[in-house]
Amino acid sequence: MQAVPTVPTAPIAFGIDIGGSGIKGAPVDLATGNLLTERKRIPTPEHSTPEAVAEICERVLAFFELPADTPVGVSLPAPIRYGEVLFMANLHQSWKGVNADQLMTASLGRPVSTVNDADAAGYAEVAYGAARNQLGTVIVTTLGTGIGSALIVDGVLVPNTELGHLEIDGHDAESRASSAAKEREGLTYGKWAKRLTRYYSVLEMLFSPDLFVVGGGVSREHEEFLGLIKVRTPLVPAALRNSAGIVGAARLAAPSHSS
């Protein structure tokens, strides 16, 4: 009998990124880090309880016809330790103490692993993007509703750093320097860049990093403000822009690709 040729299936995983304003998902080609289709985005419900958000994640996933064994990863804007949400800054407070792995696994009807959104983004930038092959200390920041951070040393992620909540000049840093703060206060790029200079200078003093990667939706507009941030450390825009959360969550969910 003739042997049936095995068709190599592209390694694929599905990533969902839960943000303060939108919940986005897409299948990811793990060989390249590219999204295989357009992202599906549904606005984050105003009453953003774990149940309400999990239901949206279910709708995002159901939009795609995925094989049952496709790994699914979800990123959340909170520190997550062994699945447990430690605190929640920008979604409903009832997230605190919830086991997000268990919640998402039950809601999506398949094993799901959850990860902090900035860690996912940082991981994706190291695997496929702006921090690829970068040795030393890399800090990836995401500027959005809050400020997320990922600390990566020689390619190894130190999770849950929460550097957006450093207290700087008496303020929670993200309340002054996130892109939501820029919008809220109607800051020009110039004024915002001054606050970002202060923020990145403190990170520079604390970590002496080799590279800063600036991500989040606003990294699309990097030409408007990146050059105005005055620090010694090289500062580059995220290569994966705002799909980094999806890509990192997907890759971390696929065991053979997560190292």
Q: Which residues bind ligand BGC (CB under 6 A)?
A: 77-79, 89-90, 116-118, 142, 144, 146, 148, 162, 164, 174
C-beta of 128: minimal distance to ligand BGC in Å?
Answer: 19
C-beta of 157: minimal distance to ligand BGC in Å?
Answer: 13
148 contacts 17 by C-beta, under 8 angstroms: no
- Residue 115, number of CB atoms within 10 A of its CB: 27
Comparing every residue's Cβ against ligand BGC, the nearest one is 146
C-beta of 142: minimal distance to ligand BGC in Å?
Answer: 5
C-beta of 63: minimal distance to ligand BGC in Å?
Answer: 23
Q: Which amino acid does the sequence have at 197?
A: T
Record the tokens describing residue 133, joined without a space: 């092959």
- Cα 175 from Cα 100, distance rounded (Å): 25
Record the tokens describing residue 254, joined without a space: 């696929």
C-beta of 140: minimal distance to ligand BGC in Å?
Answer: 11
* CB burial readout 55-78, b (16+ within 10 A) else e: ebbeebbeeeebeeebbbbbbbbb
- Smaller CB separation from ligand BGC, 26 or 91: 91
C-beta of 147: minimal distance to ligand BGC in Å?
Answer: 6
User: Of the candidates 219, 236, 251, 220, which has an alpha carbon nearest to the alpha carbon of residue 35?
Assistant: 251
78 contacts 116 by C-beta, under 8 angstroms: yes
- Smaller CB separation from ligand BGC, 92 or 110: 92
Q: Which class for 156: exposed (0-12), middle (13-18), buried (19 or more C-beta within 10 A)?
A: exposed
